[in-house]
Structure 1
């Protein structure tokens, strides 16, 4: 038995479960209203599955936008698979929840950031979770009206970080 409750790990799992529930609803019913997601993930995570040219182009992290065009969203307990369009070339991606660094829905000013585990010297062995509190409308430009088929966007969230 442990000497304390691991609240950090419990919160980490709860927020990953929240993402799973949201994506499950989207897979079933589609995106409601103006909702859309920016999902940044670790491209070097051992269970991430992306095309070689994408991992070469984004060797550390990549942000995908799930908004106008996506296909075959399949959600599991470990992660999700989705087909996105990159320059008129559909690509299948598989992203485990443990690889996600940020999950943002700017339409409702909601965001999660999962920070990497600290080094052993910091005596922290769980991920730290922060809920973004900056107004999302200041961070993201509104997107144009949806077209029949748009290209997937890869954006860098570095300019939004403090």
Structure 2
């Protein structure tokens, strides 16, 4: 357990757990492929020191970039620290390496699931859900993360905030 200044560091524990979830999902996808309509939008920090992307991509996307893992990807290789994947940009295959620490959002819109990792200047990283509903603004929190049932019409859910647990 992570303890800082005699308190439990829930923010870092949540980050570790959510990055572990991404690791498990991507490991399964690398072994079996994407099931059904699942696909991912992954936004990451292109300036993270361990990110490996072509110079033209980092020039075009300074700061952050969102990739889509859906139908056309190759060479998905998952490690404890990040994942490598080859994606096509204008019919040109480009290898990418993205460490989990560089990920800002991980979203699977097919089941309305998403994670947002936020960095605060004076605190450790904080975890917040990602908005998915079309009628929500870009800063609105996502519905509570729940194991999805069989695909049905979209439904309303509760909003969960972790702010009340911070000091």
Q: Give the TM-score taking structure 1 as reference length.
A: 0.80
Where structure 2 has 5 or more consecutive residues not aligned to the other structure, the ranges are 140-167
Tell me the distance in 2 between the aligned counterparts of 1:85 and 1:133: 27
In angstroms, what is the RMSD of aligned CA positions?
1.6
Q: Which of the residues 63, 66, 85 maps onto 1:63? A: 66
The equivalent residue for 1:132 is: 130
Q: Which of the residues 114, 138, 145 maps onto 1:161? A: 138
The equivalent residue for 1:3 is: 6
In the TM superposition, residue 119 of structure 1 has moved relative to its aligned partner by: 2.0
Q: Which of the residues 64, 77, 80 maps onto 2:80? A: 77
How many correspondences in the alignment?
136
Tell me the distance in 2 between the aligned counterparts of 1:18 and 1:34: 19
In the TM superposition, residue 132 of structure 1 has moved relative to its aligned partner by: 2.8
Residue deviations 1:9-57 (CA, integer Å, cap 9, x gap):
1001000000000000000000000000000000000000000000000
In the TM superposition, residue 131 of structure 1 has moved relative to its aligned partner by: 1.9
Where structure 1 has 5 or more consecutive residues not aligned to the other structure, the ranges are 140-158
**Structure 2 residue 31 is the aligned partner of structure 1 residue 28:** yes
Tell me the distance in 1 between the aligned counterparts of 2:89 and 2:25: 24
In the TM superposition, residue 133 of structure 1 has moved relative to its aligned partner by: 5.2
Tell me the distance in 2 between the aligned counterparts of 1:36 and 1:129: 22
The equivalent residue for 1:142 is: none
CA distance change for structure 1 residues 160 and 97 in 2, over 3 Å: closer, same or farther? farther
Tell me the distance in 1 between the aligned counterparts of 2:106 and 2:137: 13
> Which structure's residues are more often helix, by fraction?
1
Tell me the distance in 2 between the aligned counterparts of 1:65 and 1:134: 15
Q: Show structure 1 runs of 4+ deviating over 6 A.
A: none
User: What are the equivalent positions in structure 2 for 1:137-156 lying under 5 Å apart?
Assistant: 138=134
In the TM superposition, residue 80 of structure 1 has moved relative to its aligned partner by: 0.1
Q: Give the TM-score taking structure 2 as reference length.
A: 0.77
2:109–2:132: 8 Å Cα contact kept in structure 1?
no
The equivalent residue for 2:121 is: 119
Secondary structure, counterpart of 1:13 in structure 2: helix
